[in-house]
Amino acid sequence: MSPTLRQQVLRKIPSVDEILSREEILDLLRIHPRAVVVEAIRKGLGRLREEILSRDNLSGSEETLLSFENIFPLFQKEIDSQVRPRLRRVINATGIVIHTNLGRAPLHPLALKQIVEVAKAYSNLEYDLALGERGDRYSHAEEILCRLSGAESALVVNNNAGAVLLCLNTLSEGREVVISRGELVEIGGAFRIPDVMKRSGALLKEVGTTNRTHLKDYQRAIGPQTALLLKVHTSNFRVMGFTSEVSLAELVQMGREQHLLVMEDLGSGCFIDLTQYGMEKEPMVQEAIETGVDVVTVSGDKLLGGPQAGIILGKKDILDSIKVNPLMRALRIDKLTLAALEATLLLYLEEKRAMEEIPTLRMLGLDMRKLKRRGRRLLKHLQEKVKKGVQFTLKEDVSRVGGGSLPLQELPTIVLSLKSSDRSVNSLEQGLRKADPPIISRISKDELILDMRTVFDEEIPLLVSGIEKALSQTNEK
């Protein structure tokens, strides 16, 4: 095609001012701020320009390309992308229950209700209703946390990484912390125990080897500079074979003899014994507290199934010293999180209810019968709506717990597999991500996999319409 023809077409693109004077745009201006509409027109016209430049052949299509009917949707699309929040709800069809990239734990309806209740009006966040004077924001969740864990005292901060930082800084700044080499873990997202320790001002004293650490290794490392013995739960991996680690109880005993503090970062600590529900053992918070350990830290949004938070539990005098650390202010928990956390913790007063109702725990506990039923429902609706060019199959597969918890636990599950005769699996996966709400799936052996464990029954209609739409789009190379 001649460059001059392309130039001619480009010159015919209307100006922003011309577009702004159209009747249809006046309608948009009634709904959206002028700046948004102008920006959308500028970007929309930019896209049109790109389209003209990328076409191999323009002859014949010039009229349609430049028609207002063709370019108006471009503006609408640009406006939508400007006024829509970037942080969005998605459908998790990956089968990874505690998915850090997808926001970890969906909250229980009572937690949501409590967020709204506290957020829409004033609250007693830092006000003591009994005394009618200034109160303490940390007091609200303390009683329930102590009741559930058996600890003397409790404190909540922004997240578990913050909890670890705060504890190490308070208890061992400028002094040595003894930790096994097998526990110098990286949790992901650049949270590495040695780095956090450095930032806290504590000096790392590593002992033992990757696979084996003995009590005598700790013994030899203890000196006048030692402040703390630290145990970190190796949440996201297991060392197998010729291994040996010192138990928390042994460390606590040694701490007592040597007058040293003992802390455990449990990571995903759980308040329920999951082995009762056919799962592997995950260390329980109550068991850790029972050993007499000084401090334990836990995440709020892993197995606990609450909002992002860091929970610190332990001896009263130790927690009192942590509470007055100026870092507390930088790491403090906000009222919405606190509202959701407290509501979630209250559900644990009845273990059975917690297992059945807290979304994270409920998903972990789903049995094949329920998963199959959900899969069949989805399949039925899809088969009614989508007939051509695609094959849906229900299959058995495995889900993962995720979030650095129970790394070896395999959860048998039911997945819906999608195979299209005219669409590549990658383009299908991409199409589902563009759905509203986006559907996050996984690819396995050239099939698109939707795991029934992590989608909710209420999401079935959204899944159906999202899949239907993705399949109706033309193949994007």
Ligand X SMILES: *Cc1c(COP(=O)(O)O)cnc(C)c1O
Q: Does 160 bind ligand X (CB under 6 A)?
A: yes
Residue 144 binds ligand X, judged by CB under 6 A:
no
The verdict on 103 binding ligand X (CB under 6 A) reads: no
Residue facing ligand X at closest CB distance: 267
Secondary structure of residue 150 in the 3-state scheme: coil
Smallest distance, ligand X to C-beta of residue 103, A: 12
| For ligand X, the closer CB: 235 or 420 | 235
Is 159 a residue that touches ligand X (CB under 6 A)?
yes
Minimum distance from residue 155 beta carbon to ligand X (Å): 14
Listed in order, strand segments (DSSP E) in 181-294 are 186-188, 191-192, 203-207, 226-232, 261-267
Closest contact distance (angstroms) between CB of 180 and ligand X is 13
Size of the site for ligand X (CB under 6 A): 15
Is residue 344 within the footprint of ligand X (CB under 6 A)? Answer: no
Task: Examine residue 161 and tell whether it contacts ligand X (CB under 6 A).
Answer: yes
Structural contact between residues 136 and 154, judged by C-beta atoms closer than 8 angstroms: no
To the nearest 10 degrees (0 to 180), the angle between helices 142-149 and 335-347 is 30
End-to-end CA distance of the chain, in Å? 23
Q: Does 251 bind ligand X (CB under 6 A)?
A: no
At CA 264, angle to CA 261 and CA 268, rounded to 5? 160
Nearest distance, CB of residue 302 and ligand X, angstroms: 6
Phi, psi at 203, each rounded to 5°: -100, 125
Asked if 235 interacts with ligand X (CB under 6 A), we say yes
In the bound complex, what is the minimum distance in angstroms from residue 97's beta carbon to ligand X?
Answer: 14
Residue 169 found at the interface with ligand X (CB under 6 A): no
Alpha-carbon distances of 13 from 38, 62, 79, 174, rounded to whole Å: 16, 10, 20, 67
Residue closer to ligand X (CB basis): 267 or 466: 267
Site for ligand X in 257-316 (CB under 6 A): 265, 267-268, 299, 310
441 binds ligand X (CB under 6 A): no
Q: Which residue, 187 or 363, has its beta carbon nearer to ligand X?
A: 187
Give CA–CA dist 323/243, Å, rounded: 37
Span interacting with ligand X, options 203-211, 230-238, 282-290, 434-442, rule CB under 6 A: 230-238
Smallest separation (angstroms) from ligand X to the CB of 342: 17
Angstrom distance (rounded) from CA 304 to CA 344: 8
Facing residues of 420 across strands?
A: 390
Cβ burial 127-154 (10 Å sphere, 16+ → b, else e): eeeeeeeebebbebbbebbbebbebebb
Which of 99, 140, 233, 374 forms a contact with ligand X (CB under 6 A)? 233
Q: Is 280 left (phi over 0), alpha (psi -120 to 50) or beta?
A: beta
Q: Shortest distance, CB of residue 219 to ligand X, whole angstroms?
A: 24
Contacts for 269 with CB less than 8 Å, ≥ 6 apart: 233, 282, 283, 284, 285, 288, 296, 298, 299, 302, 303, 304, 311
Q: Which of 146, 191, 215, 292 binds ligand X (CB under 6 A)?
A: 191
Interface segment toward ligand X; rule CB under 6 A; list 21-29, 111-119, 159-167, 283-291? 159-167
Q: Please tell me the distance from the alpha carbon of residue 40 to that of residue 82, in angstroms, as a whole number.
A: 8
The region of 127-135, 148-156, 198-206, 232-240 touching ligand X under the rule CB under 6 A is 232-240
How many CB atoms neighbour CB 393 within 10 A? 12
Which residues would be at the binding site for ligand X (CB under 6 A)? Answer: 159-161, 164, 187, 191, 232-233, 235, 265, 267-268, 299, 310, 404
